[in-house]
A and B are shown apart, each in its own frame.
Chain A
Amino acid sequence: MNVTPQKTKESKARVGERPGGYRMHLMLCAGTGCVSSGSYKIKDALERELKKRGLSSEVAVVMTGCNGFCAQGPVMVVQPDEIFYQRLGEKDIPHLVEEHLLKGRPVERLMYTPPAGKAAVPKMSDIGFFEKQRLLALRNRGLIDPEVIDEYIARGGYKALAQVLTEMKPEEVVKELIASGLRGRGGGGFPTGVKWKTCREAPGEPKYVVCNADEGDPGAYMDRSIIEGDPHSVLEGMAIAAYAIGSSRGYIYIRHEYPLATERLEKGIADAREYGLLGKNIFDKGFDFDVGIHRGAGAFVCGESTALMASMEGRPGEPRAKYIHTVEHGLWDRPTNLNNVETYANVPPIILRGAEWFTSIGTGDVSENPWGGSKGTKVFSLVGKVHNTGLVEVPMGISLKEIVFDIGGGIPNGKKFKAVQTGGPSGGVIPENLLDLPVDFDQLTKVGSMMGSGGMIVMDETDCMVDIARYFIDFLIGESCGKCLPCREGLTQISALLNDICNGEAKEDTIELLEELSNTVKECSLCALGGSAPNPVLSTLRYFRDEYEAHVKDKQCPAGVCKALITYSIDPDKCTGCLLCLRNCPQDAISGEKKKPHKIQADLCIKCGICRDICTYDAVVVR
Chain B
Amino acid sequence: MQAQEAKLDEIVGSWKRDRSYLIEMLQDVQEHYRHIPQQVARQLSVELDVPLNRIFHIVTFYKGFSLQPRGKYPVSVCTGTACHVKGGTRILENIMRDLELEHEGQATRDRLFSVESVRCVGCCGLAPVVTVGGEVYGDTSSLKVSKILKRRRKLEPAR
The reply to whether A608 and B90 form a contact with Cβ atoms under 8 Å apart is yes
Q: Which of B4-12, B67-75, B116-124, B149-157 contacts A (4 or more CB under 8 A)?
A: B116-124
Expressed in whole angstroms, the Cα–Cα distance for A463 and B141 within the complex equals 18
* Residue among A299, A314, A385, A610 making CB contact with B85, cutoff 8 Å: A385
Q: Is A206 an interface residue (CB 8 A)?
A: no
Inter-subunit contact A314/B142 (CB<8 Å): no
The SS class assigned to the B binding surface is helix
Query: With the chains together, A35 CA to B27 CA distance in Å?
Result: 25
Other 20 A-B pairs with CB < 8 A, given A313-B20, A471-B84, A614-B143: A33-B126, A36-B136, A36-B137, A70-B123, A73-B125, A73-B126, A73-B138, A216-B120, A218-B81, A219-B82, A256-B64, A297-B62, A298-B64, A383-B82, A384-B82, A384-B85, A384-B86, A457-B81, A613-B87, A613-B143
- Interface size (B, Cβ < 8 Å)? 50
A609 within 8 A of B: yes
Interfacial chain B residues near A219, Cβ < 8 Å:
80-82, 120, 124
In the complex, A172 Cα to B143 Cα: how many Å?
Answer: 59
Please judge, given known A-B contacts A70-B125, A297-B64, whether A314 and B81 are in contact too, CB under 8 Å.
no
B23 within 8 A of A: yes
Residues of A within 8 A of B111 (CB): none
* In contact, B79 and A218 (Cβ under 8 angstroms): yes
Using CB atoms, name the residue of chain A closest to B129.
Answer: A36
Of B22, B79, B118, B135, the residue contacting A314 (CB under 8 A) is B22
**Chain B residues within CB distance 8 Å of chain A:** 19-24, 26-27, 54, 57-58, 61-65, 79-87, 89-90, 93-94, 97-98, 118-127, 129, 134-138, 141-143
Known: A220-B120, A459-B85, A463-B85. A314 touches B19 (CB 8 A): yes
B136 touches A613 (CB 8 A): no
Q: Which residues on the B side are within 8 Å of A256 (C-beta)?
A: 27, 64
Which chain B residue shows the least CB distance to A382? B125
B87 touches A381 (CB 8 A): no
Are B142 and A389 closer than 8 Å at their CB atoms? no
Report the Cα distance A480→B114, complex, angstroms.
Answer: 24
Contacting pair B81 A421 (CB below 8 A): yes
Q: Which residues of B contact A389 (CB under 8 A)?
A: 82, 124-127
User: When A35-B136, A313-B20, A613-B142 are in contact, do A298 and B63 touch as well, CB less than 8 Å?
Assistant: yes
CB < 8 Å neighbour of B61 from A70, A217, A299, A381 = A299
Write out the residue numbers on chain A whose beta carbons fall within 8 Å of the beta carbon of B26.
297
In the complex, A300 has a CB within 8 A of chain B: yes
Give bound CA distance, A297 to B118, whole Å. Answer: 12
Which residues in B have their C-beta under 8 angstroms from that of A37? 126, 138
B residues near A542, Cβ cutoff 8 Å: none
User: What's the least CB distance linking B21 to chain A, in Å?
Assistant: 6
A295 adjacent to chain B (CB < 8 Å): yes
Q: Which residues of the partner chain A approach B124 to less than 8 Å between Cβ atoms?
A: 70, 219-221, 381, 383-384, 389, 455, 457
Chain B residues, CB < 8 A from A314: 19-23, 58
Q: CB distance A300 to B20 under 8 Å?
A: no
How many residue pairs bridge A and B at CB < 8 Å?
166
Interface positions of A (Cβ within 8 A of B)? 32-33, 35-37, 70-71, 73, 215-221, 224, 256-259, 294-300, 311-317, 381, 383-385, 389-391, 421, 424, 455, 457, 459, 463, 468, 471-472, 475, 478-479, 481, 584, 586, 608-610, 613-614
- Which A residues touch B54, using CB under 8 A? 315
* Chain A residues whose C-beta falls within 8 Å of the C-beta of B141 in the assembled complex: 613-614
| CB of B134, distance to nearest CB on chain A (Å) | 7
A241, B28: Cα distance in complex, Å = 32
Task: List 9 tightest A-B contacts by C-beta distance, closest first.
Answer: A70-B125, A219-B81, A298-B63, A218-B80, A297-B62, A221-B122, A298-B64, A36-B136, A383-B82
Contact present for B57 and A316 (CB under 8 Å):
yes
A51 to chain B, nearest CB (A): 28
Instruction: Provide 18 A-B residue pairs closer than 8 Å at the C-beta atoms, listed in order of the A residue.
Output: A32-B122, A36-B126, A70-B123, A216-B120, A218-B84, A218-B119, A220-B122, A257-B120, A316-B61, A389-B125, A389-B126, A457-B85, A471-B84, A472-B81, A586-B94, A610-B94, A610-B142, A614-B143
A70 and B126 contact, Cβ closer than 8 Å, known pairs A297-B65, A312-B20:
yes
User: Which of B87, B94, B120, B134 is within 8 Å of A218, CB to CB?
Assistant: B120
**A contact patch SS:** mixed
* With known contacts A256-B27, A259-B134, A298-B64, A610–B143 Cβ distance under 8 A: yes
Report B129 CB to chain A, min CB distance, Å: 8
Chain B residues within an 8 Å CB radius of A312: 20
Asked if residues B79 and A584 are in contact (CB atoms below 8 Å), the reply is no
Contact assessment for A33 and B123 in the assembled complex, using a CB-CB cutoff below 8 Å: yes
Within the complex, the shortest CB–CB distance from B95 to chain A, in Å, comes to 11
Interface residue from A258, A383, A586 paired with B98 (Cβ < 8 Å)? A586
Chain A residue at smallest Cβ distance from B63: A298
CB distance from A117 to the nearest CB of B (A): 21
**Nearest chain A residue, comparing its CB with the CB of B19:** A314
Residue of B nearest to A481 (CB): B61
Residues in chain A near residue B87, CB distance under 8 A: 609, 613
Q: Tell me the complex Cα distance, A613–B98, Å.
A: 16
Residue with the highest number of chain A CB atoms closer than 10 Å, among B23, B120, B127, B134:
B120
**Distance between Cα atoms of A32 and B58 in the complex (Å):** 29
Kindly state the separation between the CA atoms of A471 and B81 in the bound complex, as whole angstroms: 8
Complex alpha-carbon distance, A313 and B54, angstroms? 13
Is B123's CB under 8 angstroms from A32's CB?
A: yes
Please give the distance in Å from A578's CB to the nearest CB on chain B: 15
Residues of the A chain whose Cβ atoms lie less than 8 Å from the Cβ of B123: 32-33, 36, 70, 221
CA distance A142 to B137 in the complex (A): 22
Inter-subunit contact A383/B127 (CB<8 Å) = yes
A311 and B23 in contact, given A215-B122, A299-B63, A389-B127 (Cβ under 8 angstroms) = yes
How distant is the Cα of A119 from the Cα of B143 in the complex, in angstroms? 34
- A455 to chain B: which residues have CB within 8 Å? 81-82, 124
A316 touching B58, Cβ below 8 Å: yes
If A218-B81, A314-B20 touch, whether A33 touches B138 (CB-CB below 8 Å) is yes
Measured in the bound complex, the distance between the Cα atoms of B83 and A219 in whole Å is: 8
Chain B residue contacts of A257, Cβ below 8 A: 118, 120-122
- Give the distance in Å from the alpha carbon of A97 to the alpha carbon of B76 in the complex: 37
Smallest CB gap from B118: residue in A: A257
Q: How close is A468's CB to chain B, nearest CB, in angstroms?
A: 8
- Tell which of A36, A384, A472, A481 touches B138, judged by Cβ atoms closer than 8 Å: A36
Is the pair A295, B24 in contact by a Cβ cutoff of 8 Å? Answer: yes
B58 partner residues in chain A, CB cutoff 8 A: 297, 314-316
- B24: chain A residues within 8 A (beta carbon): 294-295
